[in-house]
Amino acid sequence: MNGLPSPVFPELRLLDSYCSGSFVMFRVASKHRGISCPDCGQWTERVHSTYYRTVQDVPLCGIKVFLRIRVRKFFCDNPSCERKIIAEQFDDFICPSQRKTNRLNDVLLGIGYSLGGNPGVRLASLLGISVGKDTLLRKIKSCAVPEPQDSIDVVGIDDWAYRRGQRYGTIVCDLERHRLVDVLPDRTVTTVATWLKEHPSIRIVSRDRSSSYADAIRQGLPNATQVADRWHLLKNLGDAVERYFAAHQVPPREEPISEPAEQSLSAKALPTKKEQEQSHRREAKCELIQQVHELRHDGLGIRAIGRNMGLSRQTVRKYLSLTEPPQTTQRQSRKTLLDPYREKVIEMLSRDQTGPKILKQIREQGYKGSRSTLSQYLAELRRCMAQGQIPLPVRRHRVTPRSAAKLLITPDADVDDEDKPYLAKLLAEVEHAQVVQTLARSFKELMDRHDSQGLEGWLKNALGCGVREIRSFAEGIQQDFSAVAAGFLGPWSNGQVEGQVNRLKTLKRQMYGRAGFTLLRARVLHRA
Ligand SMILES: [Zn+2]
């Protein structure tokens, strides 16, 4: 064991060691015979007293390690020195009043930054380090976050939801170095402006379209160029088109095969054998009544008609009192056990599935009826389909304003073939869709071409286009014109900020939202 810790702590020598089941204790002392007085610099070896100090060190094979350090106090023998007593310090590996070595603290900080409170405590315990959650978190919070060394030139700022809809923070990224610079606890003008003032090297700030960031930049860095972020501009455009569709009726999207359209089978339900007999009897009766009327018309009496037709006089009288043939009662749509599976059956039939397969399928879905009921049903269905009475089933999808907007804005070359018929339908059926499409696409094209001069012409068209949602989008552009033009021209965009926000959210989720902002900021910046 002799000399074991010395490669790591060259100032110490090992006196002895003690090993219990749960920990190892190394008794160590300074290698030097004396020390220099920190005030006057005079060397002294005259010991005043000795005491022991116990600190925890990094574990050994999962076993806790303690160092029991013999600390000496010396006299300063320089008569002109104010200081009389000097205690030994071991600043290289342990700070005064700390109960853990610096290298153990570094390990704990690493664990804390990566895992946060409780998971960090669990990992530490597995490794053989005992630490409480509060201690771990305190260590992270108290650790100073290093300021970036190089001066920042171009930043992107954006907000992120600390708690969605309730609390938002601000994230600042160095757009040149693709690095997170800082997170701020809120998105108020004061906070952001103050932060910007402290970073006067910033020349360009890319931001979303909110007026609060615009104000903050004006206050904090009045000379900085504001850039309306392209990503946000496109998002605003998409939102405007979505609002336009929300204000209009978006037609449903139809896809063949699945659900029958309006003409459902139950409206023209298939007659059963019994119903067929009933209908025959009804026809026969109508004929009978007609004959009774004809005989009466020929001048026969009631009794004679009765004898002739084999009817009672009462029945003949009743039939004669009817001025028109009895109404064949409109058959109500018949409920069958197959009703719940109708769509499935039609869909399978249209895919040329056989009866037994269909039976198997719907039995799995809970059909309790017999095989013959299904066969009759299928026979009738096939007949109706052959006669074109049942149109090929069509599925109608409700299309959200959002996806309609997305489709409308997509450049022609990028529209999928299967989307083309629906896009044509949108353009044909929704009022002004053509105008909205032209304006939205040309906005995007101007942006792609970095054409900020074309923007003015676009604005004129959009302001006069007669579609409220597009007009108000254009008005917003007009008010923020210089920043938007800068966004069109320049290379800067907040695209990468989005990624940083996602990283931030992952960290935040790991912390279950319980840890405060300081801790979150410490961990985020440590990672950056
Ligand atoms: Zn001294």
Cα of 47 from ligand 1 centre, angstroms: 14
Question: Are 406 and 444 part of one and the same domain?
Answer: yes
Question: Are 378 and 280 part of one and the same domain?
Answer: yes
Cα of 247 from ligand 1 centre, angstroms: 85
Residue 226's beta-bridge partner residues? 205
Cα of 76 from ligand 1 centre, angstroms: 5
Cα of 83 from ligand 1 centre, angstroms: 5
Cα of 54 from ligand 1 centre, angstroms: 27
Cα of 9 from ligand 1 centre, angstroms: 26
Cα of 43 from ligand 1 centre, angstroms: 8
Cα of 305 from ligand 1 centre, angstroms: 148
Please identify, among 321, 353, 386, the residue that sits at the C-terminal boundary of a domain: 386
pLDDT tens profile 33-77: 999 999 999 999 999 999 999 999 988 888 889 999 999 999 999
Cα of 75 from ligand 1 centre, angstroms: 8
> What does the pLDDT read at residue 205?
92
- Give the separation between CA 216 and CA 210, rounded to whole angstroms: 10
Cα of 31 from ligand 1 centre, angstroms: 21
Cα of 32 from ligand 1 centre, angstroms: 18
Question: Are 238 and 308 part of one and the same domain?
Answer: no
Question: Are 510 and 414 part of one and the same domain?
Answer: no
- Angstrom CA distances, 380 to 349, 371, 387, stand at 12, 14, 11
> What does the pLDDT read at residue 20?
86
- Could you tell me if 379 and 373 are in contact, meaning their C-beta atoms sit under 8 angstroms apart? no
Question: Are 502 and 439 part of one and the same domain?
Answer: no
Cα of 6 from ligand 1 centre, angstroms: 29
- Give the separation between CA 74 and CA 387, rounded to whole angstroms: 113
**How many folded domains does the chain comprise?**
5
Assigned domain for 391 exists: no
Cα of 44 from ligand 1 centre, angstroms: 9
> What does the pLDDT read at residue 326?
58
Question: Are 33 and 80 part of one and the same domain?
Answer: yes
Token pair, residue 154, equals 């171009």
Please identify, among 386, 411, 441, the residue that sits at the C-terminal boundary of a domain: 386
Question: Are 65 and 121 part of one and the same domain?
Answer: no
The string of DSSP codes covering 476-506 is: HHHHTHHHHHHHHHSS--THHHHHHHHHHHH
Question: Are 281 and 369 part of one and the same domain?
Answer: yes
Tell me the HSE value of 434 on the side-chain side, using a 13 A CA sphere: 3
Cα of 28 from ligand 1 centre, angstroms: 26
pLDDT tens profile 349-381: 777 778 888 888 888 888 888 888 888 888 888
Cα of 89 from ligand 1 centre, angstroms: 15
Cα of 21 from ligand 1 centre, angstroms: 45
- The separation between CA 321 and the C-alpha centre of its own chain, rounded to angstroms, equals 76
Cα of 88 from ligand 1 centre, angstroms: 13
Q: If residue 207 lies in a helix (H) or strand (E), which one and from where to where?
A: strand 204-207
Instruction: Please state the φ and ψ torsions of residue 227, each to the nearest 5 degrees.
Output: -120, 120
- Give the separation between CA 102 and CA 247, rounded to whole angstroms: 64
- Could you tell me if 382 and 390 are in contact, meaning their C-beta atoms sit under 8 angstroms apart? no
> What does the pLDDT read at residue 350?
76
Cα of 50 from ligand 1 centre, angstroms: 19
Assigned domain for 393 exists: no
Assigned domain for 394 exists: no
- Could you tell me if 41 and 83 are in contact, meaning their C-beta atoms sit under 8 angstroms apart? no
Cα of 85 from ligand 1 centre, angstroms: 8
Cα of 141 from ligand 1 centre, angstroms: 37
Q: Coil, helix or strand for 256? A: strand
- Give the separation between CA 126 and CA 62, rounded to whole angstroms: 7
Token pair, residue 430, equals 């929704």
Cα of 38 from ligand 1 centre, angstroms: 7
CA gyration radius, the chain: 44
- Give the separation between CA 302 and CA 316, rounded to whole angstroms: 6
- Could you tell me if 475 and 463 are in contact, meaning their C-beta atoms sit under 8 angstroms apart? yes
Helices marked H in 227-354 — which ranges? 230-247, 273-297, 302-309, 313-321, 342-350
Question: Are 2 and 17 part of one and the same domain?
Answer: yes
- Could you tell me if 358 and 347 are in contact, meaning their C-beta atoms sit under 8 angstroms apart? no
**Whole domain around residue 10: which residue ranges?**
1-99
Cα of 118 from ligand 1 centre, angstroms: 47
Cα of 37 from ligand 1 centre, angstroms: 5
Question: Are 413 and 456 part of one and the same domain?
Answer: yes
Pick the closest to residue 173 from 160, 197, 154 (CA basis).
Answer: 154
Assigned domain for 464 exists: yes
Cα of 74 from ligand 1 centre, angstroms: 10
- The separation between CA 96 and the C-alpha centre of its own chain, rounded to angstroms, equals 48
**CATH number of the domain encompassing residue 172:** 3.30.420.10
Question: Are 346 and 451 part of one and the same domain?
Answer: no
Assigned domain for 319 exists: yes
Cα of 10 from ligand 1 centre, angstroms: 25
Cα of 251 from ligand 1 centre, angstroms: 91
Assigned domain for 285 exists: yes
> What does the pLDDT read at residue 52?
94
Mean pLDDT per 10-residue interval, the chain, length 528 residues: 54 88 89 91 94 91 89 93 90 83 87 81 87 82 67 89 80 88 89 92 89 90 89 90 90 63 46 74 82 84 84 86 60 65 80 84 85 84 74 71 90 86 88 91 89 88 89 90 87 83 79 66 74
- Could you tell me if 492 and 480 are in contact, meaning their C-beta atoms sit under 8 angstroms apart? no
Assigned domain for 258 exists: no
Cα of 126 from ligand 1 centre, angstroms: 46
Cα of 73 from ligand 1 centre, angstroms: 13
Pick the closest to residue 302 from 199, 138, 311, 140 (CA basis).
Answer: 311
State the helix-helix crossing angle for 517-527 and 102-115, rounded to 10 degrees: 100
Question: Are 497 and 472 part of one and the same domain?
Answer: no
> What does the pLDDT read at residue 194?
93
- Give the separation between CA 9 and CA 269, rounded to whole angstroms: 93
Block residue for tokens 């109706």: 384
Assigned domain for 351 exists: yes
Q: Coil, helix or strand for 317? A: helix
- Give the separation between CA 227 and CA 59, rounded to whole angstroms: 52
Please identify, among 386, 415, 445, the residue that sits at the C-terminal boundary of a domain: 386
Cα of 80 from ligand 1 centre, angstroms: 8
- Give the separation between CA 401 and CA 249, rounded to whole angstroms: 9
